[in-house]
Structure 1
C-alpha cells in the first residue's frame, strides 16, 4: 500500500512538473535525439542498444491504452492523462530527432529525396510546438495516425539495418508493410458504416498506399548508407585503395585512351552486406549499370570503384554516375563533363 501511494505521488508530481514546464519535454526530446545519433555514429557498439530502445518505445506507444488499463486494474496505479500525452509527444520528438540527422546526411538534396527529408523536418517542428501538436494535430485523428505512421516508418528504416543487418530493400519492404498496417485505423475513419463496400474499399486503399510507398522509394533516402568520399579519376592506387587526380572535366581523347574510374567510399552499419550499383548516364540517358558489393563497419566508409572503358563514339556532354541501392534508392551522385 505504501509503495502504491508513493508511485501515485511520483506520477502526480511528474504530471504537475510537465504541465508547469512544458518546454523541458521538447528540449529533452531534441537533445536526447541528437545525442543518440552522435553515439550511434561514433560508437557502433551502442547502435543496436539505442535503436532497440527506439523500437521498444514505439511498442509501448502502440500498446499504451492496454498497458495503462492493465496497470490500473492490477496495481491500482492511475497514470494521469497529461503525463501519458507528454510521454507520447516525447517518443515522437525522440524518434524524429534521432532519425533526422541520418536522413539529413544521406539525402541527395538536388533530387526528390529532399521532399521526404523536409517532410520529416516539418513533423519534428510540429512535435516541438505544443499548440500545433495538441490543438491542430491531435484532434484530427486520421492526420495524427498518418503522422504516427510516417514517424514509425522512418524509425524502422533507420533501426532495422542497425539491429538485424537487413539490406536496404528488405528494410524498406518491412518498414512499409508495418507502416501500412499501422495506417489501417486512419483508413477506417473514412467509413463510418460497415458494409460490403467498406470491406472491399479498405483493403484496396491499404494496397494503394503500399503501392504508392513502394513506387516512391526513389524519393526516400537510404537512412544508414551515405557517401564519405567520391572521385572521378583516371587511376586508382590498389595498395592504398585511394583515387588518383580528381577530375571534373576531361577530353574525349583522354576518355577513350584511358577509360575512367568512379570511386566511392560508403558508410554502412557494422555487419551489413549490401549490393549497390554505379549507374553511368550520358546527357540523362543510362548507358551502363555496374554492380558492387559493399560491407559495413569501416569508419571511413567501404571503398569501392568501377572502371568503365566502353564509351560511345561521341561521348561529349554531361555525365553523371548515380550510386543506387538494389531497391533503387539513390545514395549519391558524381558528375563530370567531357569536351571535344
Structure 2
C-alpha cells in the first residue's frame, strides 16, 4: 500500500494536469501564430528604445515604464526556465524546447534593439567604444537571422548562454540609471555582476563533465571574467550620459555661462590667457554624477579635474574647467577626455599647440555638437547646444560648475 501511495503522490492530479496541458497547447498555438509576424518585433523594440530615449527627458515616468517593461520580460524568461524545471520534476507537462527558444529569441531581440538607440547616441566613435557598439549591433543582427540563431541555440549551447549573459548586461546597464537614478559606475558594477551570474551555465556547459577540479576552475574563472569586464569599461559607452556640446575658448562669461573670445593656441597665448574647456553633458533627470576632465598631452595625463553634474536640463548640464599652468614642453597634440568617475569616456575635445599660428587650433568659443551616427544623430533631436540666449538663463536651471586647475570652484 505504501508503494502505491507514493506512486499516486508522484503523478499530478488529473484536473491540474489537464489545465496545464491546455495552457501548454494554448501557448504553442500562440507561438505558431506569432512566428510569421516575428519580423515586426525588432523594429517595434527599436522604436520603443528610441521612445524611451526621448521620454526619459520629456516624460520620465513613461520612459521608465518602457525600461521596466523590458526588465519584466527578462523576469518572465528567467522564471519560465525555473518553473519549467519544477513542473518537469513533478511530472507536469512543459513547453517544447522550440517554443521556449522562440520566446527567448523574442526577448533577446527586444533587449538588443531596445538598447541600440542608447548605445548609438552615447558612443564616442573615435574610441574603442565603437567596437563594442558595432559588436552589439552584430548580435542584434544575429538575433533576427533564424537559421544562425537556432543553430547557436541547438549546437553551441555555451556560446548561446554567453549571448544570453551579454543581453542581461545590456538590460541592467541601460535600465538602472533610468529607473533608479544609479550612477553609470554603480550600474556598470551591477551589470557586470549580472553578467557573471548568467555566465555560470555557459562555463558549466563548457567544462562538462563537472569534476572537483573543474568546479575549482570555474570558481577561479568567474572573478577573472568580472575583472576583465571592469578593465574593459573604457570600451563600454555610458548609456545614460553624452556630450550635447563642447567648446574651447580663451575666456568665459560666467553670468551667461558661455565661452567667448577667440585665440590661436600658440605657446605664448596659452601662457598669457590659459584655456577654458566647456562641456554640456546630458544626463537623465534626477541623476547626480561626478565626471572628470582629463587633460592629456601627447597621450600622457597632465591634469585630472573633477566636476559634479546634475541631470534634467535639455541643453545639457554646463560645466567647464580652466587650465592656466601648462608645462614648458607644450607643443604638440592635446586632448581632454571627459570621463565618468568609474572610467567610462563621455566625449573628447582635441586641440593642437603650435608656434605657427596657421597650424595651431583656433579656440573660438563656438559650441559644437559631437559627431554622431550619420543620418541618425539622436543627440541633436534631444539636446540643442546653443550659445547664450534668453532661454539659456531660465529660472530653475541648475547652477553651473566651475573648476579651476587648483581645485577651487563655485557651485
Q: TM-score, normalised by structure 2?
A: 0.75
Q: Distance in 2 between matches of 1:95 and 1:168?
A: 19
Q: Corresponding residue for 2:183? A: 167
SS in 2 for 1:269: coil
| Aligned mates of 2:215, 2:104 — CA distance in 1 | 31
In structure 2, what is the equivalent of residue 310 of structure 1? 325
Give deviations 1:298-323, integer Å, cap 9, x for gaps.
12111100011011123121111000
- Post-superposition shift, 1:28? 3.6
SS in 1 for 2:326: coil
**5+ long unaligned stretches in structure 1:** none
Match of 1:179 among 175, 184, 195: 195
Matched, 1:225 2:247: no
The answer for unaligned runs of 5 or more in structure 2 is: 1-14, 356-411
Q: Distance in 1 between matches of 2:144 and 2:49?
A: 12
Instruction: Tell me how far 1:41 sits from its aligned partner.
Output: 4.9
Q: Any idea what SS the aligned residue of 2:39 has?
A: helix
Cα pair distance change 1:187/1:310, threshold 3 Å: same
Q: Post-superposition shift, 1:82?
A: 4.5
Higher deviation after alignment, 234-243 or 39-48: 39-48
User: Aligned ranges for residues 275-290 of structure 1 at < 5 Å?
Assistant: 275-290=290-305
Helix, strand or coil at the partner of 1:92: helix
Within the alignment, does 1:300 sit opposite 2:291 as a pair? no
**Residues 33, 95 of structure 1: 8 Å contact kept:** no
Partner of 2:359: none
* Residue-pair matches, total: 338
Deviates more, 1:256-265 or 1:10-19: 10-19
Deviation of 1:72 (Å): 9.7
Match of 1:118?
134
Q: What SS is found at the alignment partner of 2:206?
A: coil
> Which moves more between the two structures, 127-136 or 209-218?
127-136
With normalisation by structure 1, the TM-score equals: 0.90
Cα deviation digits, residues 271-303 of structure 1 (max 9, x gap): 111111100011211111101011111121111
Q: What is the CA distance between 1:81 and its match in structure 2?
A: 5.2
**Is the CA contact 1:265–1:302 (under 8 Å) kept in the aligned structure 2?**
yes
CA separation of 1:210/1:168 partners in 2, compared to 1, >3 Å: closer, same or farther?
Answer: same
What is the alpha-carbon distance in structure 2 between the residues aligned to residue 79 and residue 39 of structure 1? 37
Matched, 1:336 2:369: no
CA distance in 2 between partners of 1:202 and 1:211 (Å): 14
CA RMSD of aligned residues (A): 2.7
Which one of 244, 255, 269 corresponds to residue 254 of structure 1? 269
- Distance across 2 between alignment mates of 1:71 and 1:300: 53
For 2:146, the equivalent position in structure 1 comes to 130
What does 1:132-151 align with in structure 2 at a 5 Å threshold? 132-151=148-167
Structure of greater Rg = 2
Instruction: Indicate which of 319, 327, 336 corresponds to 2:342.
Output: 327
- Whether the 8 Å CA contact 1:316–1:337 is kept in 2: the answer is yes
1:31 is displaced (CA, Å) by 3.8
- 1:327 Cα deviation from its structure 2 partner: 1.1
Secondary structure of the 1:205 match is: helix
Deviations 1:246-293 (A, max 9, x none): 77x522221111111100011111111111110001121111110101
> SS of the counterpart of 1:298?
coil
Equivalent position to 1:242, from 247, 250, 258: 258
Matched residue, 1:269: 284
Change (3 A) 1:259 1:168: same
Pair 1:212 & 2:225 matched: no
Q: Is the CA contact (8 Å cut-off) linking 1:92 and 1:127 kept in structure 2?
A: yes
Asked if the contact 2:51–2:63 (Cα under 8 Å) also holds between the matched residues in 1, the reply is no
2-side partners of 1:71 and 1:269: how far apart? 42
